[in-house]
Amino acid sequence: MNGEKRGSPIGRGPLTRRQVNRGLSAAGLSAMGLGLAGCARRAAGCDSIGGEAQAALNDAIDGLGGDRAIGAEPTLSAFDIYLSPHPDDVCFSLGILASLSGAGTLITVFSKSSFISEPISLSGNSAARAQRVTAIRTAEDRRFAAAAGLRFMRLGFLDAPLRGRFAFDGSHAIQDAEIIENPLLFAMNQLAAGRPAGLRPWLFCPMGIGGHADHLAVRWAVLRNLTQLRSTYQIGFYEDLPYASKWRLRLKGLASFDCGWGGRPLRRHSLYLGANLQRKLDLVRIYTSQFRRLPTTIERFSPARMLPSSPHEGLWIEA
Asked whether residue 167 is assigned to any structural domain, the reply reads: yes
The CATH number of residue 296's host domain is 3.40.50.10320
> Looking at this protein, which amino acid is placed at residue 7?
G
Reading phi first (left if > 0) and then psi (alpha if -120 to 50, else beta), residue 102 is in: left
Residue 301 has pLDDT above 50, yes or no: yes
* pLDDT tens sequence across 192-237: 999 999 999 999 999 999 999 999 999 999 999 999 999 999 999 9
In a domain, 142, yes or no: yes
What pLDDT does 120 receive? 66
Establish if 62 belongs to a structural domain: no
The pLDDT of residue 51: 76
| Domain carrying residue 184 | 68-318
Contact 136, 183 (CB under 8 A): no
Measuring CA to CA, how many Å separate 69 from each of 1, 26, 101? 18, 23, 17
Residue 45 pLDDT exceeds 70: no
What number of other Cβ atoms are within 10 A of residue 300's Cβ? Answer: 15
Mean pLDDT, to the nearest integer, of 92-118? 93
Percent of the chain residues past pLDDT 90, beyond the cut: 63
Q: Looking at the 3D structure of the chain, how many domains does it have?
A: 1
The verdict on residue 59 lying in a domain is no
The pLDDT of residue 72 is: 54
156 inside domain: yes
Mean pLDDT across the chain, nearest whole number? 84
Residue 36 has pLDDT above 60, yes or no: no
Model's pTM, two decimal places?
0.85
> CB within 8 A of 134, min separation 6: which ones?
111, 112, 113, 114
